[in-house]
Amino acid sequence: MTNHRTARNGDAGDTLIEILVALMIMGVVFLAVLAGMATVITGAASNRSGATEEALLRSYAEVLISPPGGSSETGVAYQACSNSVVPTYTVPSSLVSVPSGFTAYVSKVQVWNGSSYDPPGWSTTYTFTSGGSPPSATTCTDYGLQNITITASTTSGKSVTETLTVLKESAL
């Protein structure tokens, strides 16, 4: 038999080699495909979380910078700081619906110093954590302008966090 194949065309074992090469290529390709699919799935999930946080941040910010009052409560009152008062903002769930698996909160409040405007200077900065205790009161004089940072993040799965900073002024 061996002599017959060799004598016929000299291609003995070529198919086996081809199959082995093909299997090797296919193996590499499938690994690449799987990696690509994993990237796509991860990216899609991240984008979906980001889009949800985007909408959440906008809703939260609109309520936060709006003053309360009118026929329906649509905003949050400005909280002036003092030496004994820490401006703590909480948006009620009746005004902003936070989707399951996400959280949004005011993570930082900076109080304008009343003089610097290019760029504005902040006399006092308060930092908050989600679900944590508010910071202690400190020396603070309020000039009716606060720079507020809102943080939205996921509470489960892959961590995705976005922030938005808005300026809130005291009641007009």
Partner 1 sequence: MRGAAKSPDPGSNEAGQSLLLALFFLSFFGVFVAALLGFTSTSWLSSSSVAKQRSTTYEADSAVFGAIQRVRLASNPGTSTLCTSGTTANVFVYPSASSPNVAVGCSNPSTSAYNLTVTFTATSAPSGPNITATVVFYNSQLNTTSTPTGTYAVGSGLQAVQILKWAATP
For position 31 contacting partner 1 by CB under 8 A, the verdict is no
Tokens of 170: 């005291």
Which residue blocks in 66-154 are alpha helix, DSSP H?
A: none
**CA pair distance 61, 70, nearest whole angstrom:** 19
In the three-class reduction of DSSP (H, G, I as helix; E, B as strand; rest coil), residue 161 is classed as: strand
Please, which residue, 74 or 167, has the CB nearer to partner 1?
Answer: 167
Site string for partner 1, 63-82 (x = CB under 8 A): --x-----------xx-x--
Q: Cα separation of 28 and 7, whole Å?
A: 36
3-state class of 4 per DSSP?
helix
* Residue 26 binding partner 1, by CB under 8 A: yes
Q: Which residues bind partner 1 (CB under 8 A)?
A: 8-11, 14-15, 18-19, 21-23, 25-26, 29-30, 32-33, 36-37, 39-40, 43-44, 46-47, 50-51, 54, 57-58, 61, 65, 77-78, 80, 112, 114, 117-120, 142-145, 147, 162, 164-172
